[in-house]
Amino acid sequence: MTMRTLLTAAAIISSAIGVGEAPISHSTYDSSFARLGISRGNTQLSEEFASLDQQATPLPPAPWAKADPADSLYRLAREAMSRGDYKRAAELFRLIPQRFPQSAYAGQAMYYEAYSLYRSGGEDDLSTARDRLNELKQRYPAIAKNDGATLLTRVCGELAKRGDESFPPTTTTTTIGLRHSMR
């Protein structure tokens, strides 16, 4: 059974039992596999776990605001993401804050739009993800503080690897946040 299958099954189960709370941070998930290998001092194992981190896609939290007008869009976007259709997921997540800016899902949708664009991996997608995360910082600072900062670091790192001149390889996370929040 793959990690993706396990995550999908967990999402279906949590959706079926009707999780009624707002989502919590996913930052503990992001590097838990890699940390497991590192904590044991096994380099090969930590590389394998890091590979699992890249393959596994954390799903957005199960819908928690069933009366929200954006609930159906959120569900569709979440389903597209679980299938690995990141382009479609990004399109659907983008619609939520555009059409329903007061929605309970708006901040999470902006984050997962950026995440889906990051997973799509195109250079334009990465630039759009960076812009969306900077917008997230301004509109929903609580969401941007944890998960958004981690994702921004990943996006900027990937842009730097691809030769984006605004992100030299020695750029730190703090510098990235300051430079792009001043634009």
User: Per-residue pLDDT tens for 73-115?
Assistant: 888 888 888 888 999 989 998 998 888 888 888 888 888 888 8
**Distance from chain centroid for Cα 91:** 14
**pTM exceeds 0.75, yes or no:** no
User: Per-residue pLDDT tens for 125-146?
Assistant: 898 988 988 898 888 887 777 7
**Residue 30 belongs to domain spanning:** 1-11+26-58
Same domain for 110 and 163, yes or no, is yes
Cβ-based burial of 84 (10 A; exposed 0-12, middle 13-18, buried ≥19): exposed
Other residues' Cβ atoms within 10 Å of the Cβ of residue 137 = 19
| 81 Cβ neighbours under 8 A, 6+ residues apart | 57, 59, 60, 89, 112, 116
Same domain for 107 and 163, yes or no, is yes
> Could you please report the per-residue DSSP string of 44-61?
HHHHHHHHHHHH--PPPP
- Across 69-82, b (16+ Cβ under 10 Å) vs e yields ebbebbbbbbebbb
Specify whether the CB–CB gap between 108 and 115 falls below 8 A.
no
Task: Count the domains in the chain.
Answer: 2
Same domain for 46 and 125, yes or no, is no
DSSP 8-state assignment for residue 163: T
Same domain for 87 and 125, yes or no, is yes
